[in-house]
Amino acid sequence: MPQEANQVSAPAPARQVRIELADRSYDILIGADLLGSAHSYAGLPRASTALIVSNTEVAPLYAARLQAALASAYAKVLLVTLPDGEAHKDWPTLQLIFDALLQNNCDRKTVLFALGGGVVGDMAGFAAASYMRGVPFVQIPSTLLAQVDSSVGGKTAINHPLGKNMIGAFYQPQRVICDLDLLKTLPARELSAGLAEVIKYGPIADMDFFSWIESHIDALRAADSVALAHAVKRSCEIKTLVVGQDEREAGLRAILNFGHTFGHAIESGMGYGAWLHGEGVACGMVMAAELSQRLGLVEVAFVARLRRLIALAGLPTVGPLLSQIDNAGRYLELMRVDKKAEAGEIKFVVIDRPGSARVQSAPDALVRQVIDACCVPL
């Protein structure tokens, strides 16, 4: 993995990462100026209608450009604009997509295009999986977090008040188009949130990549196109390798949830939208690393190194207080709703050595110690 100091140069041409899933295989395109290029959409399923699913923040910026690019391939290009934010990742908002499909007499060949961040991608994907028992869809992620994680691998879902992403389906897109130019309008907080998912790939799979992130964190936070291109490509390479071996999370794929068990508890406990998903994951990674250390799997120095990088990325490293009465108990209650839990036993992704992860349980008493050590009052 290259370790050169931060250098700004012309971005490389569009790159392609292939995810191999037999007849569900597809390409991830990574590069600049992909959104408006008809070439980006060549070879997609033919249909008379395309439906763009976006939100109130992204649609005004990019929907017209996508509509123009699709006009030559589809007789009718529709747009449905959803309210923005994790708080709207729910049944009523999902119904807006179904309303648009049904009101426009969309058939089962209709292609959905998810233009937005992780929330839009998850909801458009779930709608595509459900409408007429399945229609094709394409991911066009507009955030760093979505480009490096949520748009790849076919997880689609909505939230329930009792748990995040508890209602959904595994349903693969036809293609993922990562246009790096879309990141230019991304607020700094959202960019940092995306970096959490980039950082995640180091401890679970590639410590050389982790070292590269450390040496390029300033360029990444400055949205340097060359640094972002490499970060997106390497993140997608790691994720496709994992998903290609375990599409439906029967085992190995669960390591991609490093930091997510604690992080989802934070998101749910704080109220969806109070913390961004990447912020919850960042803090959750610190907690999971601390748990790994207390289980005797990694050294204290590794936890400190991870905490330092997360802080340099502009992300939280200290967990919020979710209860004034029994904070650790509230975390445990929320984590028992996690999808990895089995018969009420919480499963954690822990680092068994830097660059390698596994899933295991841990005694509640030890988890309480970790939560107490990693949280402070609001």
Question: What are 370's two structure tokens?
Answer: 């970790």
Of the candidates 230, 260, 305, 340, the residue annotated as catalytic is 260
Of the candidates 88, 200, 277, 307, the residue annotated as catalytic is 277
Tell me, yes or no, if 260 is annotated catalytic: yes
Of the candidates 216, 264, 307, 339, the residue annotated as catalytic is 264
Tell me, yes or no, if 197 is annotated catalytic: yes
Q: Which long-range contacts (CB under 8 A, 24 or more apart) does 92-95 make?
A: 93/123, 93/158, 94/123, 94/126, 94/127, 94/158
Tell me, yes or no, if 257 is annotated catalytic: yes
Tell me, yes or no, if 253 is annotated catalytic: yes
Which residues, including other chains, have CB under 8 Å from residue 22's CB and lie 6 or more apart? Answer: none
DSSP 147: I
266, 278, 119, 271: which is closest to 190 by C-alpha?
A: 278
Of the candidates 159, 165, 257, 327, the residue annotated as catalytic is 257
Tell me, yes or no, if 230 is annotated catalytic: no
Of the candidates 57, 86, 190, 249, the residue annotated as catalytic is 249
DSSP 211: H
DSSP 90: S
Of the candidates 155, 164, 233, 294, the residue annotated as catalytic is 155
Which residues, including other chains, have CB under 8 Å from residue 52's CB and lie 6 or more apart? Answer: 59, 63, 66, 67, 70, 77, 78, 79, 80, 112, 113, 115
Please say whether the beta carbons of 131 and 116 come within 8 A.
no
CB-hemisphere CA count at 13 Å for 28? Answer: 29
Question: What are 95's two structure tokens?
Answer: 């119904």
Tell me, yes or no, if 175 is annotated catalytic: no
Tell me, yes or no, if 155 is annotated catalytic: yes
Of the candidates 57, 86, 190, 197, the residue annotated as catalytic is 197
Q: CA 346, CA 340: separation in Å to the nearest integer?
A: 7
Of the candidates 253, 307, 340, 347, the residue annotated as catalytic is 253
143, 150, 147: which is closest to 164 by C-alpha?
A: 150
Tell me, yes or no, if 216 is annotated catalytic: no
Which residues, including other chains, have CB under 8 Å from residue 43's CB and lie 6 or more apart? Answer: none
Residues annotated as part of the active site: 133, 155, 197, 239, 249, 253, 257, 260, 264, 277
